[in-house]
Amino acid sequence: MKGETSWISHCFDDMSKEVGGLDSFSELIDEGNKETTAVSVDLILPDDLLERILAFLPVASIFRAGSVCRRWHEIVSSKRFLWNFSNVLSQKPWYFMFTSSDEPVGYAYDPILRKWYGIELPCIQTPNWFIASSCGLVCFMDNDSRSELHVCNPVTKHCKKLEDPPGPKFPDYSALSISVNRTSHNYTVSVVKSKQVPGNFFQWDLSIHIYDSETRMWATSLTEVLTGWRGGDESVICDGILYFLIYSTGGGTPENRHGLVTYSLSGRSSPLLRSFIPVPGPLSCGRLMNLKEKLVVVGGMGKQDRPDIIKGIGIWVLEGRNWNEVARMPHKYFQGFGELDDVFASSGTDDLIYIQSYGAPALLVFDMNQKLWKWAQKCPVSKKFPLQLFTGFCFEPRLEFAP
C-alpha cells in the first residue's frame, strides 16, 4: 500500500540473514557512458567517518543501511555507533496510531520521511492500556488492575516488566508518566492513583508512587485525601517536577472544573492543593506533555455557556505559574477532523505535537518552532465501521536507550 513500509524487514534480528549474499555498497554506473570509472564509497571512507555519517540518518534508513553489507551491519550494531547516534541531533518524534479497538496493532508515522511503518509493539495487550514515553522508552500499564507495567524501546523491541507498584489495587483513576535521563539512561516512572473514599463522593484518596530504575524499587512518595477534587489520567514529568490534572467533584463554574497540581520528585512537597494552578480557561479536556522540559497543555476550548461542546483547540506553555498561549488550531484544520468530540488524542515531545480525533485516522502535526500546522501523510488504514475508534501516542525513535 502506498506510503506504508514493512518494519519487520528492517529489524536488527533479520539483518544477519540478509547480509550474507550482499556485496558492498553498489557502485553508481552511468550505463550511457561505459568509460566512466565508478568508485565505491564503502572503500574510501574509514569506519569512524562512516559511523558518523550513518548516525545522521533517520532511524528507518539506519535499519536499511544495516542490510547493505556485512561491514555496514557490524557498524550500525556496534556500541560505538550507538554512542555516535546518541550525540547527533534528536530524531523527530514518531506517532504510533492504533487501528483496532481490540488488538494493539497499528502504524508508526515518521515525520521526516513522511512514511507510515507497520510495527509490532512488545508487551502491550490491548490499545486501552495507559501509555507514557520519554527519550525513546515507552511505558505501558494495564487498564484493569493498574499493576502490570512494562518499559520498552519500541524500535529495538527491548522490554522489561516492572514489579507491581504499591498502593490500592483497581483504583478509580490512574495517571502514568515516565522520565528518562539522557546522560545516565536511568529512568523514573510515576503512577498517581485516585480512589473514592467509601460513601463520600467529595473525598478522594490520592497517592503517588515512584519507580527508580537505578534502585529497581518502588516508593510511595505521598498519600493525601482531597476534598472536592479527584485525580485523573493525565500526568507528565518535566525537569524533575510531576504535573497532573485534578478534576472538581463539587460542580462549580466551568473555569474551575480542572486544575493543575505539582509535586517535586527531589524532595518533600507541601499539600498538593497549595500548588494548585488554574488551567487556561474552560477546557473540555486537557492533554499534558513535556516539550524540551517545558510543560505544554493541549486543550479543547469549550463554549462559555456549553463547556462540553468544543469550539476549538489551543496550545499553552506554562511559564512560572502563568500560561502563555502558543497557538490556536486554524478553523480549516478544526473542520478537517469532521465531527470532533469534546475529548481527543494528543501527545508530543521535542518540537512536535500530534493531534487526532478518536473517530478518524486523520493526524495533524504542529511544529512548535515554526508555528506551523500540517496534515500527516494519510494513514494506510481507513475507517471501516461507525464505531471504530483510533488513538495513539508519540515517542522518540532512539536506538541507544534500553529499559
Tens of pLDDT, residues 52-82: 777 777 777 776 777 777 877 777 777 777 6
Q: Where do the domains of the chain lie, and which CATH numbers do they carry? A: 44-84 (1.20.1280), 89-393 (2.120.10.80)
More confident residue, 323 or 19: 323
Q: Is the dihedral of CA 365, 187, 160, 195 positive or negative?
A: negative
More confident residue, 37 or 87: 87
pLDDT of the residue at 11: 41
What would the mean pLDDT of 115-119 be, rounded to a whole number? 89
pLDDT of the residue at 253: 53
Q: Vertex 209, ends 250 and 232: CA angle to 5°?
A: 30
- Alpha-carbon span 300 to 162, nearest angstrom: 34
Tens of pLDDT, residues 150-170: 999 998 889 999 999 998 889
Predicted confidence (pLDDT) at residue 36 exceeds the cutoff of 60: no
- Say what the pTM is: 0.82
The C-alpha cell 550505463 sits at: 31
Query: E strands along 228-271, which residues?
Result: 229-238, 241-248, 258-264
- For the ranges 22-36, 193-207, 297-311, the lowest mean pLDDT is seen at 22-36
pLDDT of the residue at 25: 26
Tens of pLDDT, residues 204-224: 999 999 999 999 999 999 999
